[in-house]
Amino acid sequence: MQRRTFNFALAGIALAATAPLVHAQAWPEKPIRMVVAQPAGSGPDSIARLLGEQLSHKWKQSIVVDNKPGGQNAIGAQAAARSPADGYNFYFATSAALVTNPYLFKSLPYDPLKDFAPVGMIGRVPFVLAVNTASPAKTLQDFVAEMKANPGKVTVANEGPKTFGGMMTRLFASQLGVQVNSVPYVSIGAAVTETVGGQTEAVMGDVPALIQMIKAGRLRPIAVTTAKRVSGLEAVPSIADAIPGFDYAGFMAIVAPAGTPAAAIQRFNRDLDSVLSDKEMAAKLLAVGPITEGAGTPEQMAAFLQAEHARWSKLTKDIGILPE
């Protein structure tokens, strides 16, 4: 009788130990909602749907993209943060939502570090500084010399002072000790159009937004914001050539509401990494946005976010951006 009782106890322990594994294998058992803080048809939306299609094949469950644009990503981030932490709600996030917003706004309806659990990285989005083809600047060095010779007169288009492109423009000028006329536009598309048309001399924007005009010969790229050269723009030097250590890029990632079951996060992370590791998928992503190196682990992403917060806190202070 004692031996039988002992065996039952062992069986119970084994069953309890395998319960999380069984749950992980069963997930997902219903459709998954993915909040995107940009409108339908935008770059992030296209990427979310592309990844969602591949993941839905793996999981045999549909992924419903829920677009909630506006408020510098705050509307979507808040909606995602307040979603049930049941393993069926996730947020397709950008660097603005997860890192830079707290240093630009005095108050936010969400806390990027406390309200979300990291799931996995999608990739980095390099920015590029490009000039109108009529510009006398053929190289980064030419452009710097022009800014020094004409303080405050050289125009650089971007999406505004509190966007990634706007902050890169100010940081670039600040670290070189030059003055630049940063011209804000309502969208990167408008900034590109105005630069191509000659209303501004240069534009600072993400590579996907500028690449077609660059390939068409209507914009001349002179520098990228990442320390490494960018695929498709291998001949374009880095701003780090002029400013050692300069290495900035936007990023895209998946997070979940805080408290989401670890089993769901681990399964999502594993399968996201599998999708991103596919060469064909990586090429498709590169054509519309991020450069991927796989999803990493949730722990690696958490460490990355902590480091980015420290870096951007210093950056915004260095270039005089105060929360409003």
Asked if residue 23 is part of any domain, the answer here is no
Q: Which residue has the tokens 């690449």?
A: 211
Range of the domain at 302: 31-125+249-318
Tell me the CB-side half-sphere exposure of residue 196, using CA atoms within 13 A: 17
Check if the beta carbon of residue 217 is closer than 8 Å to that of residue 133: yes
Are 183 and 276 within one domain? no
Contact status, residue 294 vs residue 254, Cβ threshold 8 Å: no
The verdict on 131 and 93 lying in the same domain is no
Closest CA relative to residue 33, chosen from 97, 75, 106, 83? 83
Query: Mean pLDDT throughout 12-16?
Result: 48
- Could you tell me if residue 232 is inside a domain? yes
Paired residues of 219 in beta bridges: 132
19 lies in some domain:
no
Report yes or no on 202 lying in a domain. Answer: yes
111/255 Cα distance (integer angstroms): 13
Does residue 175 share a domain with residue 92? no
Tens of pLDDT, residue by residue over 34-80, are 999 999 988 899 999 999 999 999 999 999 999 999 988 999 999 99
138: domain CATH number is 3.40.190.10
312 domain-assigned: yes
Other CB atoms within 10 A of residue 62 CB? 14
Q: Is 157 found in the same domain as 136?
A: yes
Report pLDDT for 25: 62
User: Quick check: 263 and 27 in contact, CB under 8 A?
Assistant: yes
Number of domains in the chain: 2
Q: Report whether pLDDT(103) > 80.
A: yes
Residue whose entry in the numeric block shows the structure tokens 């393993």: 87
pLDDT band at 319 (very low <50, low <70, confident <90, very high): confident
Q: What is the DSSP string of 115-153?
A: SEEEEEEEEEEEEEEEEETT-S--SHHHHHHHHHHSTTT
Residue 130 has pLDDT above 50, yes or no: yes
135 belongs to a structural domain: yes
Query: Percent of the chain at pLDDT above 70?
Result: 92
**Mean pLDDT in residue range 128-134:** 96
Does residue 292 sit within a domain?
Answer: yes
Determine the pLDDT at residue 43.
85
Average pLDDT, stretch 92-104? 94
